[in-house]
Amino acid sequence: MVSPVETQGLTKEFRVGFWGKRVRVLSDLNLEVREGEVFGYLGPNGAGKTTTLKLITGLLKPTSGSVRIFGRDCWDFSIKRKVGFLPENPYFYEYLTGRELLNFYGQLVGLRPGERRETIERLAKHVHLSAALDLPLRKYSKGMLQRIGLAQALLNDPDLILLDEPMSGLDPIGRREIRDLIIELKGQGKTVFFSSHIIPDVELLCDRVGILVGGCLVAQGPVDQMLEARIESIEVTVSRVPPGLVEELDHWLVSPPVTKGERLVLTVKDEGTLAELLTRLIEAKAAIHAAAPQRESLEEYFLRHAQPRGGP
Rounded (to 5) percent helix, strand, coil in the chain: 35, 30, 30
> Considering only 94-98, 100-104, 207-211, 233-237, which range has the smallest mean pLDDT?
233-237
Q: H helices within 58-159, ranges in order?
A: 98-108, 113-126, 142-153
CA–CA distance from 110 to each of 63, 99, 106, 133, 301 (Å)?
32, 16, 6, 21, 44
What's the pLDDT at 157? Answer: 93
HSE, CB side, 13 Å, CA atoms: give it for residue 166: 31
Are the beta carbons of 105 and 153 closer than 8 angstroms? no
CATH, domain range 231-295: 3.30.70
Position with higher pLDDT, 86 vs 309: 86
Contact 48, 31 (CB under 8 A): no
The count of C-alpha atoms lying within 13 angstroms of the C-alpha of 141, restricted to the half-sphere facing its C-beta, is: 10
Using an 8 Å Cβ cutoff, are 211 and 22 in contact? no
Q: Which CATH number fits domain 5-227: 3.40.50.300, 3.30.70.2740, 1.20.80.30, 3.30.56.10?
A: 3.40.50.300
* Residue 193: pLDDT over 90: yes
User: What confidence score (pLDDT) does residue 249 get?
Assistant: 86
Percentage of the chain with pLDDT > 70?
A: 92
Tell me, what's the pLDDT at 307? 62
pLDDT number for residue 271: 80
Q: What is the pLDDT at residue 138?
A: 94
* pLDDT at residue number 191: 96
Domain(s) labelled CATH 3.30.70 in the chain stretch across 231-295
Supply the pTM of this predicted model: 0.76
Confidence category of residue 310, pLDDT binned at 50, 70, 90: very low
Say if CB 197 and CB 43 are below 8 A apart: yes
Name the range with the highest mean pLDDT among 120-124, 175-179, 258-262. 120-124
β 208-213/231-239 pair status: unpaired
Q: What is the mean pLDDT of residues 150-159?
A: 94
pLDDT given at position 311: 42
What's the pLDDT tens digit per position in 243-285? 888 888 888 898 888 888 889 999 988 888 888 989 989 999 9
Contact 5, 160 (CB under 8 A): yes
What is the model's pLDDT at position 228? 59
Secondary structure letter of residue 253 according to DSSP: B
Q: Is residue 232 predicted with pLDDT exceeding 50?
A: yes
The predicted pLDDT at position 298 comes to 67
Q: In which residue ranges of the chain is CATH 3.40.50.300 found?
A: 5-227
pLDDT tier for residue 116 given thresholds of 50, 70 and 90: very high
pLDDT over 70 at 76, yes or no: yes
